[in-house]
Every structure is written in structure tokens, then in C-alpha cells.
Structure 1
Amino acid sequence: MTWIAFTVFAAFMQSWRNAFQSRLSSEVKTLGVTLARFLWASPIAAIYLSSLYLYQPAALPEFNPIFLSYIIAASLMQILATALMVLLFKQNNYAIGAGLAKSEALAAAILGVAFFGTSLTLLGWTGVFIGGVGIFLLSTSSGIKSLSIKTVLLGLACGCAFALTSLWVREASLALHLPFPYDAAWVLFLVISLQTIILLIYIGSTDPSTLNALWQRPKLTLLTSIASCLGSIGWFSAMSLQAVPYVKTLGQVEIFFTMLISFLWLKQKVAIKDGVGLTLVAVAAILVMWS
């Protein structure tokens, strides 16, 4: 049951990463906030990978075209997903943005069943339906009549992008044929490194002022990277051990961390309706896990 501990740890760290990104998004452009997630994460991932080999040597991986295609696909999709999430934070407050982003769990279940050979029981699909109701509640600002189609579509797109990222990360881990946790550590290091290089080149050539904005906010940028990398270690490790839909549905315990951070640190109010929506998403996670 090691994957459960990794998932809960990842959810906790991701809630903090989202909080740091939410605050940073009020001062830095979308791609800059996206880069903050990866900027200092690569060295941390390298230290983690090296520590594993120093602690207990293992075989080095053999990279094949299929593995590399998964790495590239996951890297690009996660950049897109993170950018969409930052835009989502700008549409509503932090708790609601994070709640809509958690449609990732539902998307992972649907895409996993459709394209990755995952199966769900009737109880599991009941959880998917309840989670969908929770996402619906979170997408309204002051009742059903005020439903924001733009916010809903942005949230669903964000969730689907994160879901595809996770599914490809798991496929990459399985393609390495290395023991745990070396498979997850290699995937983590390669994905984060590629993402950092891509964003640095693009932003540096098109909008250097964004890099300067991050440079002027070193503490918040560093905290975002640290929380992101630690969370990714948890996610990547859990997904190398268990199917993505199960990991992501359990990972919805993040919403409770999200509500606490939103209220205690960001000083944002969470309406009763929003709390109900978040609770329904959590119930969906429990049902899918029980299935």
C-alpha cells in the first residue's frame, strides 16, 4: 500500500504548490508562473535520483523511442495543463480554481478506460458521476443560473491535460523496466528537465521581462519549485505502482488541504455551496477507491 502514502503526500504538497502559484499569478504572467513550477525542480530531481543510486546502486535505464515519446508527450502536456490552471486561478478564487482543476481525476478514469486498458466497476462509475456533480457546483459563481461556461470548459481542459500527463507518465515508467523507485525517479528527472529547457528558451526569446519578474521574487519562485518537485516525486512514484485513475481519485484528498490553505493562508472565503462541491468530489474519490 506504499502508493497510498505517496499519493497523500503528493496531494498535500500540490495544494501548497497551487497556493504559491495562485499568489504568484497576481504578479507574474501565466508562462512565468508555469516556469516557476519547474525552474528549481530539476536540481532537486537530480539530487533525488542521485541519492537513490548512492543509497543502493541499480541498473541504468535503456532509453528507447517509445519511452522517449512518452517523456516528450508528458512534458508538453504538463506545460499546457499548468498554464491552463494558472488561467483558471485568474477566473475565480484559489479554492474554486483548484477544485475545477481536480476534474483531472474524472478525466483520468474516462481516458484510462477508453484508451489505456483501465476498468471501473459500477461503484467506480457512480463515483465519477458524483464527482461530476461536484465539479458542476464548483463552476457556478452564485447559483446554477450564473454558470460560467468559460470557467467550466477551462477547468475540464485543464483536468484532461493533467490526466493525459499522468497516463503518459505511468506508461513511461512501465516502459523503463526498472525497479521501483528508480523508474519513477528517472521519468521525473527527464520530464522536469525537458520542461525547464523548453520554457526557458521560449520565454527568454519572446518575453525576457517575465524571467526578470521571477528573479525579483526569488522566495515565492523557489517555494513553488520545491513544493512542485516534492509533489511530483509523490505522484510519479504512486503512478509507477498503481493505475492512474485510482491514484488521482485518492489524490482528491487535496481538496481538504486546499480549503484549509485558502481560508488560513490566502484569507479567501469558501462558500457553503463551494464546500458542498468539494465534498462531493471527495466522496467520488472514496467510491472509486472502494470499487
Structure 2
Amino acid sequence: MIWIAATLIAAAAQTFRNAAQSGLTRQIGTIGATSVRFVFGVPFALLALGLAALAFDIPRPGGTTLAWAALGAGAQIAATVFMLITMRGQSFGIATALMKTEPVTLAIIGAIVLAEPLGPARMGAIVLATAGVVLASGARWSRASARPVLTGIAAGALFGLSSIGFRGAILSLPDGGYVIRALTTLAITLGLQSAAMLAWMAIMDRPALRGIVGEWRVSLAAGALGAFASLFWFIGFALTAAANVRTLALIEVPLAQILSGRVFRETIGRAQLLGICMIVLGVGWLLAAA
């Protein structure tokens, strides 16, 4: 069950990366802060792949691998755009809850595109954990308007599609163990995303491009953490269905709620407590069924 450990490591590293990126948004804007995880993550991915090449043969990606990687890279960028639109139009709680619908759409897309088995036990666990996130978010849904809800669901679906693209790229590589295939896919994906973001900033947003250069120290830390987190996400995708990985990652929600209660003395309502219990039960059910 290596994928479980990989997923938990990825979720923890992603939390630290988000913290590093959060301050950059105020200083260099949304586009600049978003591009940091890609542009400054590439050197670390290439360095790791180069070191791995000393001990393992690097699998040669073909057209199929590049197509899957491009799908994942493009979907992830588009999902980020929809996520930002949702956060501008709704509260953070509603936006977060909508993003976390990803495992449901991911399971359905995976069953259709990659022919991954979707039995009643797996689907039930995924739905239970996702519904728990909606309750645990504490969002006031009576204030939600239609357009941000749709963009939020679209963001979750696109994040799910990106995970399918990454898993498809990993599985399409002709040979190699799960670590070297994950590293190879990571380097390809970050390369594609960096090229796209740099081209966009060079043409449409020069201040953001100057900003990430000026804030290179913080950007480098965020890029390193982003590449580290992505590597372990990809290791998880190499070993099991992407829906399993993203559902297990929901365990970070109750952990964050517990942390906020202990550290920041924030109260947790009954609905949120019920949501946390649903997440824990859903994740446990998923692990039993996997």
C-alpha cells in the first residue's frame, strides 16, 4: 500500500507549498503566483530525473504519453482559472467545497476513459467522503449563486481530468518502475506547463514575469515544494486509480479543522463535526475496498 504513504506525503507537502504561494499572490498577482509552481518546479524535477538516470533507464515517451501529459497539463491550468473565478464570486468555504467534488467526477471519468473498475463500494466511499467535505466546509449554501457554483463544479471536474491525464501518461510509458515513470511524467508535465505560462506572461502579463524573477527566493521554495508534492501525487497515480488517491487526500480537511480548533480556538459546529466523521468513514471504507 505504498500509494497511501505517497498520498499522505503529497498532501502534507502541498499544504506547505500553498503557504509559500499565498504571500506571493499579494506581491506579484494571481498569474505570477500560479506560474511559480510550474516554472520554478521544473529545475528540481529535471535534477531528480537526472539523478535517477544514474541508476535507472529513463523510459522514452511516445506520442501517446505526450498527448496524455498535455491533457493533464492543460486541464490543470484551466481548472486553476475556474477555481480563481469561483473564489472571486463566492465565499472561500463554498469555493473549497466545490473544488473537493473532484473525486466523484474523477471516478466517473476514470471509469469511462481508462476503464478503471467502479464498483458500488468504491463509489459509495467516494460519495460519502465528498459529501462530508461539503458539510465540513461550513459554507452557507443559501447564499450561493448559480454561476460560481457551475464554475466551481467545472474546476473540480477539470482537476479530475488533469489527474486522469497524468495517470494516463504514466501508464502509457513503455517500461520502468513506478518511481522512474512518475519522475519522467512529472518532468514532461512541468515542462509543458512552464512553457505555456511563460509564453502567456511574456505576451499578456509582463509585470507578473518581472515579479517572479524579483521574488525568486520565495518562488524557488514554492517550486521545490510543488515539485516534491507532485512527485508523490504521481507515484500514487502510478500505483492505483487516481480517484483513490484524491479521495484519500480529503483526510487533510478534518486534520485542518482539528488544527484550527486546537491552535486558533475556532469552534466546530455540529454539521462540520458530522462532515468530518463522514470523511473519515468514507476514507476508511475506500481503503477497505481498495
Say if 1:200 and 1:84 are closer, same or farther in 2 by CA, change over 3 A. Answer: same
Specify every segment of 5 or more residues in structure 2 that has no aligned partner in the other structure, as ranges: none
Shift of 1:278: 5.0
Shift of 1:108: 1.3
Say yes or no: does 1:147 pair with 2:173.
Answer: no
Say if 1:77 and 1:12 are closer, same or farther in 2 by CA, change over 3 A. Answer: same
**Deviations 1:221-268 (Å, cap 9, x if unpaired)?**
233222211110101111111111112211222324544676789x79
Say if 1:260 and 1:234 are closer, same or farther in 2 by CA, change over 3 A. Answer: farther
Which of these residues, 189, 192, 195, is aligned with residue 193 of structure 2?
195
Write out aligned runs for 1:125-274 (5 A): 125-137=123-135, 141-142=139-140, 144-180=141-177, 181-259=179-257, 272=269, 273-274=271-272
Which amino acid in 1 is paired with 2:43? P
Contact conserved, 2:261 with 2:268, CA < 8 A, in 1? no
Shift of 1:130: 2.0
Contact conserved, 2:128 with 2:279, CA < 8 A, in 1? yes
Give the percent of matched residue pairs that are identical in Structure 1 and Structure 2. 26
TM-score normalised by length of structure 1: 0.85
Partner of 1:29: 29
Contact conserved, 1:101 with 1:158, CA < 8 A, in 2? yes
Which amino acid in 1 is paired with 2:191? S
63-72 or 233-242, which deviates more: 63-72
23-32 or 233-242, which deviates more: 23-32
Contact conserved, 1:99 with 1:278, CA < 8 A, in 2? no
Specify every segment of 5 or more residues in structure 1 that has no aligned partner in the other structure, as ranges: none
**Deviations 1:259-291 (Å, cap 9, x if unpaired)?**
4676789x7957534554455344333322222
Superposition RMSD in Å: 2.8
Say if 1:110 and 1:256 are closer, same or farther in 2 by CA, change over 3 A. Answer: same
Partner of 1:108: 106
Rounded to whole Å, the distance in 2 between the matches of 1:150 and 1:275 is: 29
Rounded to whole Å, the distance in 2 between the matches of 1:128 and 1:121 is: 11
TM-score normalised by length of structure 2: 0.85
Q: Secondary structure at the match of 2:53?
A: helix
Rounded to whole Å, the distance in 1 between the matches of 2:171 and 2:277 is: 33
Contact conserved, 1:45 with 1:189, CA < 8 A, in 2? yes
Contact conserved, 1:85 with 1:101, CA < 8 A, in 2? yes
Partner of 1:82: 80
Contact conserved, 1:100 with 1:138, CA < 8 A, in 2? no
Shift of 1:76: 0.9
Contact conserved, 2:58 with 2:176, CA < 8 A, in 1? no
Contact conserved, 1:12 with 1:257, CA < 8 A, in 2? no
Say if 1:157 and 1:286 are closer, same or farther in 2 by CA, change over 3 A. Answer: farther
Partner of 1:118: 116
187-196 or 273-282, which deviates more: 273-282
Rounded to whole Å, the distance in 2 between the matches of 1:147 and 1:237 is: 36
Rounded to whole Å, the distance in 2 between the matches of 1:44 and 1:261 is: 31
Partner of 1:62: 60
Shift of 1:135: 4.5
